[in-house]
Amino acid sequence: MPYVTVQMLEGRTDEQRKALIEKVTDAVVETTGASREKVVVFVEDIDKRNYGVGGKRLID
């Protein structure tokens, strides 16, 4: 049973999340041969206050 975790910055719509889960599932099925019903996709939001690049938070 493949498990995929996608971490991304917060702010995506429910429609974007739905499309992401569908496309990730399709890619896993296509590349691994796993059955669609066995693919699990987790989407984890990262709060922009907790994410930094180059020593600075994205919200600063």
Q: Which residues are catalytic?
A: 2
Contact 2, 35 (CB under 8 A): no
Sign of CA dihedral 22, 26, 32, 36: positive
Q: CB count, 10 Å around CB of 2?
A: 15
